[in-house]
Structure 1
Amino acid sequence: MKQSYSYFQRQQKSLLFGASLYVILLVLAHSTLPSIHVWLMAAVFSVAMNFTYVTEAYWGKAHFGIEFGIAATLIVASILGVLVSPVFVIAAIFAHGLWDISKHFGAGVPFLSWYTLSCFCVDVMYGGVLALYWWANY
């Protein structure tokens, strides 16, 4: 009997490589750009990372409502981070990290363990760096 795998399970190496390259380039870009671009890039990062679980829920036909609701909330917070205050995008990135660790323990659509743990670490570290950057510049 042939085992069925999700798109993300089949693309683990590509996903790991792409995500790693993106995070490295993101951090390098922050050191050379004006402040507004830091918050725009953080918001784009936050918005983009919210599509992974929604996509998996859609393809897997399970947990779509919860995944969409959380993603929509975090996307709105990310946009408010650019329009109102950077605190919103920082909170959205931290909250996504909390959702990642919750997924590791079984919440929402099932996902790759290495990905949820790695994403949690990236979100917490990146959120921390952004919080320090905000504190130092505002």
Structure 2
Amino acid sequence: MSAAPSHVHGHAQSSPFSRRPILTGIAVGIASLLPHAFLTTEASLAFAAILIALIAGIYFGFAVVNGSSRHQWIEFNVAGLFAVSGLLGLLYWPVLLAVAYFAHAAWDFAHHNRSRLSLVAIPQWYVPWCVVIDVIVGAGLLVIWHDRGLL
């Protein structure tokens, strides 16, 4: 028996992200965190706020492509909650930004078992990939901002 052709699983099989989600998630997480070491505190907060909103918005994109109107409504509103969290963290309580990254990792896990929660379908590799990024960025922000006396 031969292996299934790559087109059976979609074009993502050729992606290094889909082949090695943990390894590429670590690389993207570090690359996403690295600018914070060089940015001013204010710019670091703004970058973290923008990035969490962007990350959360990706699920809305999955819902537009793969989901029902219900899925689109859920993902749009959850992305909005993360955007508001980013704004509140930027303006008032920086630790909320780091917490938002950990909360997004939980949202990723919720999509892993979408049969129980009836959430939009996403590529299977995306869940561990995004969880790794979220945890690296959230933990890294806590360390960086603590060292700067922000937290």
Choose the corresponding residue for 1:119, options 130, 134, 141.
Answer: 130
CA-based RMSD of the aligned residues comes to 2.6
Structure 2 spans left out of the alignment, 5+ residues: 1-7, 19-23
Name the amino acid aligned to 1:92: A
Structure 1 pair 93/84, CA: closer, same or farther in 2 (3 Å)? Answer: same
Structure 1 spans left out of the alignment, 5+ residues: none
How much has 1:54 moved relative to structure 2? Answer: 0.5
- Residue in 1 aligned with 2:79? 71
SS of aligned partner of 1:113: coil
Structure 1, 40-49 or 29-38: larger mean CA deviation: 29-38
Name the amino acid aligned to 1:80: L
Name the amino acid aligned to 2:33: V
CA distance in 2, matches of 1:20, 1:125: 7
- Residue in 1 aligned with 2:140? 129
CA distance in 1, matches of 2:135, 2:31: 18
CA offset digits 1:24-71 (Å, max 9, x no partner): 443332221211111111111101111111011122242112212211
Trace 1:1-138 onto structure 2 (pairs within 5 A): 10=11, 13=15, 23-62=29-68, 63-106=71-114, 107=117, 108-136=119-147, 137-138=149-150
Structure 1 pair 114/15, CA: closer, same or farther in 2 (3 Å)? Answer: closer
Query: What is the aligned-residue identity percentage?
Result: 28
Identify the structure with bigger relative contact order (alpha carbons < 8 Å, sequence gap 6+): 2
CA distance in 2, matches of 1:61, 1:29: 34
